[in-house]
């Protein structure tokens, strides 16, 4: 999501306007305290300080930014005036408004900071902590029924580790063995030597990117896709090519065409509980893709963080289970099933790749914390019961969300997810980034569709998680419906379609 290098001219010119990215950089600005224009002023200042936007960048006109934020032009004018008075902005008649420039070396440093600092994941997490109803993240509540009975044993785990001086780059041996049994029970024969433990699923994705990608390499990724993965690929400097996700997941024919066209170093797939659509890839497609990875010599990164959250039947098989010697790295985590704060994940793969990953991980953090791994060993043994409890919980919440959507937003279209934690809905003629700004003023944080997009082709879509308690889930969907009505009324009164307000 970094700003394009072609839009930067730090010596003599300015940085071109990118209004949508500016709006994302402002995060949950309207949830701040104080008068509205003061909140906007502070958010722009903080975005500069943090490196999300930088000196020399051209800002949109007052009218245009007001439309994107869903506020009056008066609010933006007052904010711009405050920023000019404080020396933050430069304006020139007929030329526009710019963030004040400094020395060329400082501009270059700010540009580099922005390319690193502009994190949609970070912004989503900050927005979700603002006190508003959180429809931006798919973070479930801890599974207390299973966690609380094992918590007393943490003292014993800690005592057992007191004399341990090793960092254990691959992970705690007992956990690696438990993960290997977990894979074997699910149809993918695995040994402990084929596993490396990570600090959550996100680190696992980042490590796979660092291992497999050099700047400029192509990665084939689903579209839409998990925005945390997209961010990891972009930070690695990869070029992204889209694999459209259909009702039954990606098409092997399209995948074959894209592999032949762009020669990717990595293919990223979420075969069960695709994030955000909830699709489940049929077994024959998984087998075909596994065979294709051998034929083309390309590594598949198989994200199974949501794979145990399936709503009917037996746990779907992993891609890796169909061709044991294929270059498939399978990622998993305990966060969604048990406890988001535990931050224990893993990667399963061929021994040569796992050995390289362990060495790479050592350069990042020496090794993940051992005490959470020790607790995770106990929890992973409880996975069958965790599946049963989570299925009961999330099928009910999914059905509640569906009923509310059909009642309050009958124009929204979606396919019932087969697994996962969210609905992927389409709102015809809507700009969901503008909708997210409108909803935020009413106390609801949303993640708009283009955050999940390789090419910003999902602007009319919205990911709607069903992880909150019933009351908050219902209240959030009611706010969403009101925000849609407000946006539609605003468009009608201005004689503009909602999609034109970009």
Domain membership of residue 9 (yes or no) is yes
Q: Are residues 376 and 391 in the same domain?
A: no
Mean of pLDDT values over 375-388: 96
User: Please, which pLDDT band fits residue 110 given cuts at 50, 70 and 90?
Assistant: low
Q: Is residue 126 part of a domain?
A: no
| Domain end call among 381, 407, 422 | 381
| 173 and 294, same domain (yes or no) | yes
Rounded to an integer, the average pLDDT of 278-287 is: 94
Q: Does residue 112 sit in the same domain as residue 59?
A: yes
Give the mean pLDDT of 319-328: 90
Task: With respect to residue 463, please indicate whether it lies within any of the assigned structural domains.
Answer: yes
Same domain, 191 and 47: no
What sign results for the dihedral spanned by CA atoms 367, 373, 374, 380?
negative
**Average pLDDT for 230-259:** 90
Residue 124's pLDDT band (cuts 50, 70, 90): low
The three-state secondary structure class of 51 is: coil
| Same domain as 23, residue 149 | no
341/392 same-domain check: no
Statement: residue 4 has pLDDT above 90:
no
Give pLDDT, residue 132. 85
| In a shared domain, residues 341 and 266 | yes
Q: Residue 227 belongs to a domain with what CATH number?
A: 3.40.640.10
Assign residue 89 the CATH number of its domain: 1.10.10.10
Instruction: With respect to residue 393, please indicate whether it lies within any of the assigned structural domains.
Output: yes
Question: By percentage, how much of the chain surpasses pLDDT 90?
Answer: 58
Whether residue 108 is predicted with pLDDT greater than 50 in this model: the reply is no
The string of DSSP letters for 389-426 reads HHHHHHHHHHHHHHHHHHHH-TT-B----SBSSEEEEE
Could you report the per-residue pLDDT of 208-236, keeping only the tens digit for each? 999 999 989 999 999 999 999 999 998 88
What average pLDDT does the chain have? 86
Euclidean distance between CA atoms 417 and 395, whole angstroms = 10
Cα 459-40-118 angle, rounded to 5 deg? 55
Q: What CATH number does the domain containing 414 carry?
A: 3.90.1150.10
149 and 93 in one domain? no
Residue 101 has a pLDDT of 72
Mean pLDDT of 414-432: 94
- Residue ranges with strand state E in 224-371: 239-244, 266-269, 299-303, 328-333, 345-348
Q: What is the pLDDT of residue 23?
A: 85
Question: pTM of the entire structure?
Answer: 0.79
pLDDT band of residue 126 (cuts 50, 70, 90) is low
Count of Cβ atoms closer than 10 Å to residue 94 Cβ: 4
Residue 373's closest CA among 102, 192, 127? 192
The model's confidence at residue 87, banded by pLDDT at 50, 70 and 90, is confident
Mean pLDDT of 457-471: 95
According to the model, what pLDDT value does residue 498 have?
43
Residue 250 token pair: 């990606």
Single out the residue in 339, 366, 381 at which a domain terminates.
381
- Residue 15 forms part of a structural domain: yes
Question: Per DSSP, what are the bridge partners of residue 285?
Answer: none
> pLDDT, tens digit, for every residue of 425-452?
999 888 999 999 899 989 999 999 999 9
Domain encompassing residue 334: 145-381
For residue 295, name the pLDDT band (cuts at 50, 70, 90). Answer: confident
Report if residue 127 sits inside a domain.
no
Cβ burial of 260 (10 Å; 0-12, 13-18, 19+) is exposed
Q: Is residue 15 pLDDT above 90, yes or no?
A: no
Instruction: Say whether both 222 and 307 belong to one domain.
Output: yes
Residue 366, classified by CB atoms within 10 Å of its CB into exposed (0-12), middle (13-18) or buried (19+), is: exposed
Mark whether 398 and 354 lie in a shared domain. Answer: no
Is 124 inside a domain boundary?
no
User: Which of 128-142, 250-264, 480-494 has the weakest average pLDDT?
Assistant: 480-494
Residues 282, 309 share a domain: yes
Residue 374 predicted with pLDDT over 60: yes
Classify residue 492: in a domain, yes or no.
yes
The pLDDT, as a whole number, for residue 119 is 58
Which ranges of 249-346 does DSSP label H, i.e. alpha helix? Answer: 252-262, 283-296
Q: Which of 27-31, 130-134, 206-210, 236-240 has the highest mean pLDDT?
A: 206-210
Out of 355, 381, 407, pick the residue that ends a domain.
381
309 shares its domain with 351: yes
Among 324-328, 343-347, 423-427, 441-445, whose mean pLDDT is lowest?
A: 324-328
- Count up the domains in the chain and report the number: 3
Tokens of 161: 């580790």
pLDDT > 70 fraction of the chain, expressed in percent and rounded = 88
């Amino acid at each position: 999501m970094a700003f394009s290098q072609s839009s930067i001219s730090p010596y003599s010119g300015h940085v071109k306007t990118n209004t949508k990215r500016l709006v994302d950089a402002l995060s949950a600005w309207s949830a701040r305290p104080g008068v509205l224009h003061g909140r906007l002023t502070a958010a722009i200042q903080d975005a500069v300080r943090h490196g999300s936007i930088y000196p020399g960048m051209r800002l949109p006109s007052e009218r245009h930014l007001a439309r994107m934020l869903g506020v009056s032009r008066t609010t933006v004018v007052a904010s711009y005036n405050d920023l000019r008075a404080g020396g933050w902005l430069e304006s020139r008649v007929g030329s526009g408004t710019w963030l004040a420039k400094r020395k060329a070396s400082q501009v270059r440093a700010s540009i580099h900071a922005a390319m690193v600092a502009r994190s949609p994941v970070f912004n989503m997490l900050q927005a979700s902590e603002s006190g508003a109803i959180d429809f931006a993240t798919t973070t479930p509540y801890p599974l207390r029924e299973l966690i609380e009975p094992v918590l007393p044993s943490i003292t014993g785990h800690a005592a057992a580790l007191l004399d341990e001086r090793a960092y254990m780059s691959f992970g705690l041996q007992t956990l690696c063995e438990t993960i290997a049994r977990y894979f074997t029970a699910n149809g993918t024969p695995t040994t402990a030597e084929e596993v490396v433990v990570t600090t959550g699923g996100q680190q696992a994705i980042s490590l796979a990117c660092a291992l497999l990608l050099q700047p400029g390499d192509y990665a084939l990724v689903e579209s839409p896709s998990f925005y945390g993965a997209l961010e990891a690929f972009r930070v690695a400097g990869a070029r992204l090519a889209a694999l459209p996700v259909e009702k039954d997941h990606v098409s092997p024919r399209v995948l074959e065409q894209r592999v032949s066209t762009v020669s990717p170093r990595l293919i990223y797939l979420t075969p069960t509980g695709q994030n955000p659509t909830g699709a489940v890839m049929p077994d024959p497609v998984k087998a075909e893709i596994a065979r294709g990875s051998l034929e083309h010599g390309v590594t598949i990164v198989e994200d199974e963080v949501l794979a145990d959250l399936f709503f009917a039947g037996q746990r779907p098989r992993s891609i890796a289970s169909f061709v044991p010697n294929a270059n498939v790295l399978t990622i998993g985590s305990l966060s969604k099933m048990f406890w988001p704060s535990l931050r224990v994940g893993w990667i399963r793969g061929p021994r040569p790749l796992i050995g390289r990953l362990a060495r790479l991980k050592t350069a990042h953090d020496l090794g993940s914390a051992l005490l959470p791994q020790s607790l995770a060993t106990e929890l992973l043994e409880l996975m069958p019961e965790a599946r049963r409890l989570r299925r009961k919980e999330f099928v009910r919440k999914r059905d509640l969300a569906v009923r509310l959507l059909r009642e309050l937003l009958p124009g929204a279209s979606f396919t019932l997810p087969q697994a996962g934690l969210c609905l992927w809905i389409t709102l015809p003629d809507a700009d969901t980034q503008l909708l997210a700004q409108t909803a935020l003023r009413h106390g609801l944080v949303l993640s708009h569709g283009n955050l999940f997009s390789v090419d910003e082709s999902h602007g009319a879509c919205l990911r709607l998680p069903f992880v909150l308690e019933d009351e908050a889930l219902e209240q959030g969907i009611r706010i969403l419906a009101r925000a849609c009505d407000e946006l539609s009324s605003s468009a009608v009164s201005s004689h503009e379609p909602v999609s034109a307000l970009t």
